[in-house]
Structure 1
Amino acid sequence: MFESLSDRLSGVFDRLTKQGALSEDDVKTALREVRVALLEADVSLPVARDFVKAVQEKATGQAVTKSVTPGQQVVKIVHDALVDMLTGEGDPGALKVDNPPAPILMVGLQGGGKTTTTAKLAKRLKDRDGKRVLMASLDIYRPAAMEQLAVLGQQIGVDTLPIVPGQNPTDIAKRAKQQATMGGYDVYMLDTAGRLHIDETLMQEVEDVSRIAQPRETLLVVDGLTGQVAVEVAQEFDAKIGITGVVLTRMDGDGRGGAALSMRAVTGKPIKFVGLGEKVDDFDTFEPDRIAGRILGMGDIVSLVEKAQETIEAEQAERMMQRMAKGRFNMNDLKMQLEQMLKLGGMESIMGMMPGMGKMSKQMAGAGIDDRMLKQQIALIQSMTKKERANPQILQASRKKRIAKGAGMEVSDLNKLLKMQRQMGDMMKKMGKRGKGGMLKQAMSGLFGGKGVAGLPTELDPKALEEAAKQMGGKFPGSADGLQLPPGLSGFGKKK
C-alpha cells in the first residue's frame, strides 16, 4: 500500500533533510516534486494542488527558518497536512451500532468485494466488540451469492439468514429485520446486489431496502485499484442514497493509493476500513496518522505492537521469556518465533511498520530474505526429531545430512540456521542478565503496557514502549548500526 508514492516522497525528503539551511526556492522545488508524485499516485489534480498550497504556506513561514533542522520540519509539516487530508469526522473505524438490532447496509458495484467485506466486518464486530451479528444476502442476481455469504458465515462463526428462494430484496430485508429483533442480535448486516455500473434499477432497489431497514451505517465498498473511478462512484452513491463511510478493498495490490488520498477531500466521507488481502483477517481500520507515517517512511510501530498483542498468546510468551532469560533458546523457541513473524504478516509487513526500515525491506527481498526463507527454516526445524530440537548441540554430520535431505535443503543452509540459533541464544542470555530485572523483561513489559506478559492489558502503554525502545538503543537487539542480520544469512536457501 502506497509503495510507489512512499519511494518518491522519501527521495525528495532525503535531499531536504541533508541540507543545513533551506531557502524558499529549495522548498518550492521539493513541493513541485511532491505534487508530481501525488499526481502519479492518481490523486486528483484539485486535491494535489490544495495540498501543496497548504504545505507551502506553512513551510515558508518562520517555523522553518528558525528550526534547527529545517528539512525535518518540512517533513513534519507534510505529515500533518497528509493527516488533515485523510482525517474524517469522529473516531476511525467507529460504527453507530449502539441500539440493537442496529442495521448496517453494504452497497457498491459488482466485483468490489462487498460480500467478503461484509464477512470481514462481521468477524471484527464479533471478535473485537463482542457483538452478536446476523448477516443477510440481498443479492438475488449473482449466481451462488447467497451461498457464498453462508459459507463465509460458517468459517467465521457468524449466523446468516436462511435462504428462501423466490424472495425479492425488500422481502429479505424485512425478514432479516424481524429475525434480528426476535433473535436478540446486536447488529444485522445487509449485503446488497451490485451492478457493473450505476443505473436507476440498482439505486431504486437500494433506496427501497434503505427505507425498510433505516440503517445506522451505509458503507460503500469500492475497489481501491480503480483510483479516481472509486472516488466518482462514491460521489454518485452519496448523492443518490447518502453514505456514511467508505471501505476501500484490494489496497494490498495498490502501490499508488490515489483513491485513499482523494476520497476524503473530494467526497467529504471518511474512509472507515481498508481491505488488505483475501483472508478474513486482512482487514484494518483506516488510521490517518498511521497511514501518513507509512507514506513518509516513518513506520507504524503502534499497529505492529497492536498486531503482536492480538496474535501472541500471553502464557506462551511468558514461558518463552523465562527460558530466554536463562539463556535457554533451542530450536522449538526459534520455530515459535519464525511462525510468529509469519502470523504478523511476514517480513515485508513487519519491516514496513518499522520506522526507517521501509527501504531496507526491498534490499532484503533482493538478498533472498523473505517469507519463503522463513518457511524453509521452519521446514528444516520440522525435519528434526524432538530430541534434536531440544538439544541442537548433538547434531553431527550424519544427522545434518538426514535433516537437510528431509527438508529438501542443503547442509550449508542448516549450518546457517544453527549459527543463527546460537547467536540468538547468546543475545537473549545477555539481554536477560543486563540491568535490574533484565533488559528482555523490560522490553516485554513495554510491549504489554508495563505489566509483564501475564497481566496483558487492553491498551498499549506508549511510555513503557518508548522506555523499552531506549533500553534497546532504538535498534534491533545485538546490532551496532540498526538492523544487522547473522553473517551468511543472506545466502540462505539459494542454490549454489
Structure 2
Amino acid sequence: MFESLSDKLDAALKNVKGEGRINDLNIAETMREIRRALLDADVNYDVAREFTNKVKEKVTDESVLNAVSPGQQFVKAVYDELVFLLGDVHIDLNTPKKPPMVILIAGLQGSGKTTFTGKLAKYLKSKGRSPMLAAADVYRPAAVDQLETLASQVGVPVFSIRGEDGVPLKDAVEVARRAKDEARRTGRDTLIIDTAGRLHVDEAMMKEVVEIKGAVEPDEILFVVDAMTGQDAVNTAKAFNDQLNVDGVVLTKLDGDTRGGAALSIRSVVQKPIKFASTGEKLDALTEFYPDRMAQRILGMGDVVSFVEKAQEQFDEEEAEKLQRKFRTQDFDLQDFYDQLQKIKNMGSIKDLIGMIPGVGKVMKDIDVEDDAFKHIEALVQSMTPYERANPDQINGSRRRRIAAGAGMEVQDVNGLLKQFREMKKMMKTMSRLSGKGRQASLSDLQRARGRR
C-alpha cells in the first residue's frame, strides 16, 4: 500500500541525506518535492501546504540544527507530521453505556460496507465478544443474503425480517429497532447494523440513516470509505459526518491504494479518527489503525509491532518451544512444516507481511508475491500419506511418482520440495544449536558474576 507515495517521499528525502548541513536551498528543494509527492497522492491541497510548512518549521529549528544530520532531521520531521496527520494516536471503539453495544455502519454502495460488517464481527468475536448482525440494507439485491453468508462464515447470528414470499421487509428503521430488542433478548453484547448505501450521497439515504440512528441510539457510528477514491472519499466522509456526527472512519481496499490521499487527508478535513483499515477480501483482513505504524510503513521503516502481533495470534510460547526441540533433535517433519505454512497464511497477505519487515518492503516492492505462493507445496504435502509426512527420508522413487501424480505435478517438483526441506532442517538445527550455546554462555556469565559478588 502507498507504494507511489513512499517512493516519491523517499526520492525527496534523498536530496538532503548526503548533505553536510541544512541551508535555504536544500530546504526549499526538499519541501517542493514533498509537496509535489503529497499532491500527486491526491492529498488535499490545504493539508499538503500545512504539512510542508510544519516540516520546514521543524527542520529549521536552531536547537536541533547541529544535533543530527540533515537526512535524519528531515526524516524525523516528516515522520512526526505523518503521525499527526494520520491521527496522532490510536482510538479504540467507544465504551457502551449498557449492553448491547450498538455499532452503526454507514457508507456508499461499493465501499465494502457489508464485507466490513462481517470482518468486524469476526474481529470482535476474537476479542471475546458475542456479536449479532442486523441486515438493514433492504434495497440492494441480495444484500441480506450476502450478510447471512458472511455471518455463517464467522459463526454469528444475523437478524433480518422477511415476508412470507422471502422478500426482505422494506423498512430499515424497523429492522434496526427490532434487531436491538432481539440482541438484548438473546444476551448478545454487540449489535452491528449494516445500512443501505447509494451510488452517491442523496437526501433519502441520509434521512433513513439518521432515522436509524435516532431509533437505536448507537454507541459507535463508523463510516466506511473506499480508500482508492482519494479526495472523493474525503468529501463523502464530510457529508456523512455533517449529518451523523460519526465516531470513526474505516478505510477499505487499502491494499490497492498506492497513493494514500484519502488516508492522509480524511483525519484533517473531517476531524474524526481512522479506526480500522481493511486490506483484502478475506474476513481476517482487518486491522486496527495505528497512525505511528502507518507512518513507519509509508517511510519504508516497516512495522515490526504489527508483524509480531500477527505472529503472536498464531503461535504461542509452548508451541514455539516444542518446535525448537524438534529442530534440535531433527524430529521436525513435513506435517510440522505444513502446519506452520497454514499459520503463516493465517497471518494475512504475504506481500503485506513482507512490507512490515524494515528494509525488506522496499527491496521486494517490484516483486509480485502471490498469496497462493505455497499452493504447490501444499498440494504435494497433501498428496502424501501420514507415514510419508512423518518420514520424508523414506519416500522412494515409486512413492515420489504417486505423490506427483496425486498433486498433478512432476516428480522433479517432489524432488525439489524434499531437497529444500532437508536444507531447511539442516539450517534450523545449526541456528538452534547456536541459540542454545548463546543461552548457556549467558547463564555461565551470570553465574560467574554472582560468584564475584
- TM-score normalised to the size of structure 1? 0.81
Structure 1 residue 159 displacement after superposition: 1.8
The residue identity in structure 2 corresponding to 1:247 is V
Match of 2:92 in 1: 93
2:184 aligned to which of 169, 181, 194: 181
Q: Does the CA-based 8 Å contact 2:103-2:221 persist in structure 1?
A: yes
1:152 aligned to which of 150, 153, 156: 150
Match of 1:477 in 2: none
Residue pairs, 1:356-371, within 5 angstroms: 356-362=359-365, 364-365=367-368, 370-371=370-371
1:238 aligned to which of 237, 241, 252: 241
Match of 2:38 in 1: 38
Structure 1 residue 396 displacement after superposition: 5.4
Match of 1:137 in 2: 135
The residue identity in structure 2 corresponding to 1:99 is K
Please give the per-residue CA displacement for 1:186-243, whole angstroms capped at 9, x wherever unaligned: 2222222122221221111122211111111111111111110110011111112221
Residue pairs, 1:451-462, within 5 angstroms: none
Counterpart CA distance in 2 for 1:94 and 1:132 is: 15
Counterpart CA distance in 1 for 2:339 and 2:184 is: 45
5+ long unaligned stretches in structure 2: 164-168, 443-453
Counterpart CA distance in 2 for 1:417 and 1:219 is: 47
The residue identity in structure 2 corresponding to 1:73 is Q
Match of 2:122 in 1: 123
Match of 1:265 in 2: 268
The residue identity in structure 2 corresponding to 1:273 is F
Counterpart CA distance in 2 for 1:230 and 1:244 is: 16
Structure 1 residue 133 displacement after superposition: 1.9
Please give the per-residue CA displacement for 1:253-306, whole angstroms capped at 9, x wherever unaligned: 111121011000111111111121112111111110000011000001111111
Q: Does the CA-based 8 Å contact 1:432-1:439 persist in structure 2?
A: no
1:168 aligned to which of 159, 168, 171: 171
Counterpart CA distance in 1 for 2:366 and 2:418 is: 24
The residue identity in structure 2 corresponding to 1:142 is R
Residue pairs, 1:473-484, within 5 angstroms: none
5+ long unaligned stretches in structure 1: 443-496
Match of 1:452 in 2: none
Counterpart CA distance in 1 for 2:223 and 2:328 is: 50
Counterpart CA distance in 2 for 1:167 and 1:373 is: 45
2:289 aligned to which of 264, 286, 304: 286
Q: Does the CA-based 8 Å contact 1:107-1:218 persist in structure 2?
A: yes
Q: Does the CA-based 8 Å contact 1:22-1:70 persist in structure 2?
A: yes
Structure 1 residues 318, 187: CA separation in 2 closer, same or farther (over 3 Å shift)? same
Q: Does the CA-based 8 Å contact 1:231-1:262 persist in structure 2?
A: yes
Counterpart CA distance in 2 for 1:199 and 1:435 is: 63
The question of 1:351 aligning with 2:350 is answered: no
Match of 2:426 in 1: 426
The residue identity in structure 1 corresponding to 2:45 is L
When structure 1 is superposed on structure 2, of 113-122 and 254-263 the one drifting more is 113-122
Match of 1:82 in 2: 82
Counterpart CA distance in 2 for 1:114 and 1:371 is: 24
Q: How many residues align?
A: 436
Counterpart CA distance in 2 for 1:106 and 1:342 is: 29
Match of 1:212 in 2: 215
Counterpart CA distance in 1 for 2:332 and 2:14 is: 40
Q: Does the CA-based 8 Å contact 2:136-2:195 persist in structure 1?
A: yes
The residue identity in structure 2 corresponding to 1:124 is Y
Match of 1:11 in 2: 11
The residue identity in structure 1 corresponding to 2:108 is L
Please give the per-residue CA displacement for 1:100-135, whole angstroms capped at 9, x wherever unaligned: 12222111122222222122112222221x222222
Higher relative contact order (CA 8 A, sep 6+): 2
The question of 1:255 aligning with 2:258 is answered: yes
Counterpart CA distance in 2 for 1:193 and 1:346 is: 29
Structure 1 residue 397 displacement after superposition: 5.5
Counterpart CA distance in 2 for 1:22 and 1:326 is: 57
Structure 1 residue 46 displacement after superposition: 0.7
Structure 1 residue 18 displacement after superposition: 3.8
Structure 1 residue 82 displacement after superposition: 0.3
The residue identity in structure 2 corresponding to 1:152 is L
Match of 1:108 in 2: 107
Please give the per-residue CA displacement for 1:78-101, whole angstroms capped at 9, x wherever unaligned: 11110001116x643333335212
Q: Equivalent residue of 1:273, what SS?
A: strand
Q: Does the CA-based 8 Å contact 2:85-2:264 persist in structure 1?
A: yes
Q: Equivalent residue of 1:112, what SS?
A: coil
Counterpart CA distance in 2 for 1:255 and 1:161 is: 37
Q: Equivalent residue of 1:221, what SS?
A: strand
Structure 1 residue 53 displacement after superposition: 0.8
The question of 1:194 aligning with 2:197 is answered: yes
Q: Does the CA-based 8 Å contact 1:327-1:428 persist in structure 2?
A: no
Match of 1:329 in 2: 332
Q: Equivalent residue of 2:99, what SS?
A: coil
Q: Does the CA-based 8 Å contact 2:93-2:220 persist in structure 1?
A: no
Counterpart CA distance in 2 for 1:415 and 1:20 is: 55
The two structures, once aligned, show a CA RMSD in angstroms of 2.6
- TM-score normalised to the size of structure 2? 0.88
Q: Does the CA-based 8 Å contact 1:325-1:431 persist in structure 2?
A: no
